[in-house]
Amino acid sequence: MRWLALLLALAGPAMGEETIVTGLSQSRVAITANYDGSEILIYGAVKRDAPPPSADPIEVIITVEGPSSPVTIRRKEWVAGLWINRSSVSVDAAPSFYAVATSGPIANILSQTEDLRFKITIPHTIRSVGSTKDAADAEDFVTALQRLHERDGRYRLDEGSVQLTDQTLFRTDVLLPANLTEGDYRVRLFLLRDGRVVDSQERVIGVRKAGVERFLYNLAHEQSLLYGVISLLMAVVAGWAASAGARFIRR
């Protein structure tokens, strides 16, 4: 029994757990009139009870996900000389923003099983919520949605952008675009070895309107009648000012 206890004690450190300790450069983003995007530094370290194994190096994947909302994807077709919507697919919820940063090629460091389990890559994030198949080729519609969001910078895959030092320290910068949707942005960090997730952690970045934008947003949603009256008065004043300016110039 003593020998068994000794063997277990010796085996313990070699099988030590690896966990993530993380931080964010900022946990709140204020959308103001001159907001043109921001860069978030996401950093951390791997905490171990024993030296890392020599085989299968550690890898890191970081995702930043914006608020989700229902999306209807429509396809236009040329009919009788006109472009009209002929078919559509409704997705229950798709992220307004989704960025994936990795320490290496994602196909090499993440197994399909773990991707399906944690919904890490962009296609799984969209498809995991399900879609109403209003068309026979619904997958093509979802692929088109992903392609459109990638084009305008809302969906991004940045392979190799996570800097990993000595298999312990890591960091990356994630650029948030100017056209952010207000809400909570979920930051997920995954520690992987041999394609498997050995630990994960989740943080939140709060994105809120501030200043005049916050006032107008609250007014529009909480006092819509007053907001409409003010908007009408502003339009009348602007029209009168433009007319008065034109008359003055003609003189």
Summarised one tens digit per residue, pLDDT across range 196-227 is 999 999 999 998 876 555 555 555 556 666 65
What is the maximum span of the chain, computed from C-alpha positions, in angstroms?
Answer: 107
Q: How far apart are CA 75 and CA 59, in angstroms?
A: 39
**Residue whose token pair is 């995991």:** 128
**Helix 212-222, helix 224-250: angle, nearest 10:** 120
Mention every residue, 6+ apart, whose C-beta is less than 8 A from residue 76: 83, 84, 85, 86
| CATH architecture for the domain at 15-209 | Sandwich (2.60)
Q: Which amino acid is at 158?
A: D
Of the candidates 175, 168, 218, the one whose C-alpha atom is nearest the C-alpha of residue 39 is 175
pTM over 0.95: no
pLDDT category at 7 given cuts 50, 70, 90 is very low
pLDDT at 48 exceeding the cut of 50: yes
CB of 62 within 8 A of CB of 172?
yes
User: pLDDT above 90 covers what percent of the chain?
Assistant: 38
Sorted by where each begins, the domain ranges of the chain are 15-209, 211-251
Q: 116 or 233: which carries more pLDDT confidence?
A: 116
User: pLDDT above 70 covers what percent of the chain?
Assistant: 72
Burial class of residue 110, CB neighbours in 10 A (0-12, 13-18, 19+): buried
Q: Mean pLDDT for the chain?
A: 79
Q: 187 or 79: which carries more pLDDT confidence?
A: 187
Quote the pLDDT of residue 157.
94
